[in-house]
Structure 1
Amino acid sequence: MLTVFMEYKVNPETLQSYEYEMASVIEELKKLGASDIQWYRAADQPSLYVEYFKVNDKEAYESIKEKRTSSEHPVFSKLFPFISGGAEKIHCWAFEKMNVKEDL
């Protein structure tokens, strides 16, 4: 299981349109196998957003990452006009959970 974070800034004048489109983005993520999907807006930077979700493996992560930045994708590409800098400014990371040792 991998935890994925996607981070980007939204053009302030397009926030309402961006937030409206996110409903279909979240549904598409579910179809692609993402689970525990969460969506955040930075408290101190209102146009900075982070998406958090889990995928089963690296292949699912790579597939979603590729689709999220593809101008050919019918759902994800709708966000590009709202993102400051476009698809190239979508930052994406996958993390593996580490076990915490109690004696640290």
Structure 2
Amino acid sequence: MLTVFMEYKVSPESIQWYESQMESVISELKACGASDIQWYRAADQPSLYVECFQVNDQASYDTIKKNRTSPQHPVFSILDECVIGGLEKIHCWAFEKLNTKDDL
């Protein structure tokens, strides 16, 4: 299991439209195998957004990352106009959970 973070800035004039499109984006993420999807707006930077979700494996992460930054994807490409710098400015990271003392 991997935890994925996606971070990007939305142009201030596009925030309302962007937020209205996220229902479709989240539905598509679920269809691509993402679970436990959480969506955040930075409290101190209103145009900075972060998505956090789980995927089962590296292949799922690689596919989602590729699709999220593709202007050809039928759903994810709708954000190209509102993300500052376009889809290639979506920063993606995948993390593996490490056991802590309390987990052992």
Does TM, normalized by the shorter one, top 0.5?
A: yes
Q: Does 1:35 align with 2:35?
A: yes
Corresponding residue number in structure 1 for 2:22: 22
Q: Which amino acid aligns with 1:99?
A: N
Unaligned runs of 5+ in 2: none
Identity of aligned residues (%): 70
Deviation at 1:32, TM superposition (A): 0.5
Q: Which residue of 2 aligns with 1:53?
A: 53
Letter in 1 for 2:4: V
CA distance in 1, matches of 2:35, 2:74: 21
Aligned to 2:52, the other structure's residue is in SS state strand
The alignment's TM-score, normalised by the length of structure 2, stands at: 0.96
Q: Which residue of 1 aligns with 2:95?
A: 95
Aligned pair count reads 102
TM superposition shift of 1:87: 1.0
Deviation beyond 3 Å, 4+ runs, structure 1:
none
Question: Following the alignment from structure 1 to structure 2, what is the Cα–Cα distance between the partners of residues 75 and 88?
Answer: 15
Deviation at 1:20, TM superposition (A): 0.6
TM score, norm. by length of structure 1: 0.96
Cα distance between partner residues in 2 of 1:15 and 1:87 = 15
